[in-house]
């Protein structure tokens, strides 16, 4: 068995540590490199020490050199950092799994352009369970296509910087597509004051930020006399890490292409 060589961006962050832990436990992959910003106090330290399992891979700020030793870079950092890493990965011919959210339309187009040269898995949520929910939402929306108001409620920790979450937005896109609507035109992201009666064609979003909530998402279909709720709750970040490794294995050996977790899981 040939192991997939994994590089991890933002190694000392919450997701970085979870990715390191998952990688060191997965016999089908091997940690090849771990990156941090040049000013980080973790530069030069053993990446495995972050999770209590020394592995001999030193954290570095030299991304280009690290990518030369890797098959796939997994990145859950910030849009600006991810896009910089994407160009370095493209130059190195290294695949990439992108779990970062908060990209603009133009930035998403840049990811698509890079995927013409390298394989990229780009998804708003890497958890297998969440992607199963995406599929369930498509089915539910097609059945509940008349007489039901749709509201999406998401909650995350106090440190999350974008809202609504990428996962919530993707849920909205899935439902809107199934209903034959354009999310950009029908989304309502906040209500205050005298708003008037609810427009039945809209899809509402509500955002909660607080504490250390990893990630909760609920899509509510509210009809007359009944409510249907489809919910996913994350108890830790490990599902995101495990899904990311599954994505890395999926693109191993591929030359190029833009994929999401629905491709990885064979749900399309």
Active-site annotation holder among 85, 156, 217, 232: 156
Catalytic residue check, 217: no
CA distance 2 to 144: 46
Tell me if 64 sits within 8 A of 86, measured CB to CB: no
1 has a pLDDT exceeding 90: no
In the sheet that holds 29-35, the strands lie side by side as 59-60, 29-35, 4-8, 72-75, 95-98, 119-122, 257-259
Residue range 210-262, pLDDT digits in tens: 999 999 999 999 999 999 999 999 999 999 999 999 999 999 999 999 999 99
Confidence at residue 54, expressed as pLDDT on a 0 to 100 scale: 97
CA–CA dist 259, 112 (Å, integer): 10
Mean pLDDT throughout 5-31? 97
45 classed as catalytic: no
Q: Are 250 and 259 in contact (CB under 8 A)?
A: yes
Q: In this structure, are residues 222 and 148 in contact, taking their beta carbons and an 8 Å threshold? A: yes
Using a pLDDT cut of 70, give the percent of the chain over it.
100
Alpha helices in 36-119 (DSSP H): 63-67, 79-92, 105-114
Task: Classify 93 as helix, strand or coil.
Answer: coil
Across 33-54, average pLDDT = 97
Mean pLDDT of 202-206: 98
Instruction: Summarize pLDDT for 57-85 with one digit per residue, the tens.
Output: 999 999 999 999 999 999 999 999 999 99
What is the rounded CA–CA span in Å between residue 64 and residue 69?
9
Mind listing the domains of the chain with CATH numbers? 4-126+237-264 (3.40.50.720), 128-234 (3.30.360.10)
- Please say if the pLDDT value at position 196 is more than 90: yes
pLDDT category, 268, cuts 50, 70, 90? confident
In the chain, DSSP finds a helix count (H) and a strand count (E) of 9, 12
| % of the chain residues with pLDDT over 90 | 96
Q: Report the C-alpha gap between 117 and 95 in whole angstroms.
A: 9
pTM reported for the whole predicted model: 0.85
Residue from 85, 108, 160, 233 carrying the catalytic annotation: 160
Exposed, middle or buried: residue 30 (CB in 10 Å: 0-12, 13-18, 19+)? middle
Distance (Å, whole) CA 231 – CA 64: 40
- Mean pLDDT (the chain) is 96
């Amino acid at each position: 068995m040939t192991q997939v060589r994994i590089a991890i961006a933002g190694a000392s962050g919450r997701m970085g540590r979870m990715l390191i832990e998952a990688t060191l436990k997965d016999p089908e992959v091997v940690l090849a490199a771990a990156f941090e910003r040049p000013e980080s106090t973790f530069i030069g330290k053993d990446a495995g020490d972050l999770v209590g399992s020394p592995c001999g891979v030193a954290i570095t700020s030299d991304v280009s050199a690290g990518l030369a030793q890797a098959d796939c870079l997994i990145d859950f950092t910030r849009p600006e950092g991810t896009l910089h890493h994407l160009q370095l990965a493209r130059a190195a011919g290294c695949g990439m799994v992108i779990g970062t959210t908060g990209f603009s339309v133009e930035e998403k187009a840049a990811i698509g352009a890079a995927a013409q040269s390298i394989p990229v898995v780009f998804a708003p949520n890497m958890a297998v369970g969440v992607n199963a929910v995406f599929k369930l939402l498509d089915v539910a929306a097609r059945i509940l296509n008349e007489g039901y108001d749709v509201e999406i409620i998401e909650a995350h920790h106090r440190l999350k910087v974008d809202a609504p979450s990428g996962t919530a937005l993707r849920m909205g896109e899935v439902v809107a597509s199934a209903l034959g609507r354009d999310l950009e035109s029908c989304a309502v992201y906040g209500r205050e004051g005298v708003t008037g009666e609810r427009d039945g064609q809209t899809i509402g979003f509500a955002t909660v930020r607080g504490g250390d909530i990893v990630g909760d998402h609920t899509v509510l279909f509210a009809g007359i006399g009944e409510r249907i709720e489809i919910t996913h709750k994350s108890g830790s970040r490990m599902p995101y890490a495990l899904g990311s490794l599954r994505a890395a294995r999926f693109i191993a050996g591929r030359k190029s292409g833009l994929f999401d977790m629905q491709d990885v899981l064979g749900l399309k």
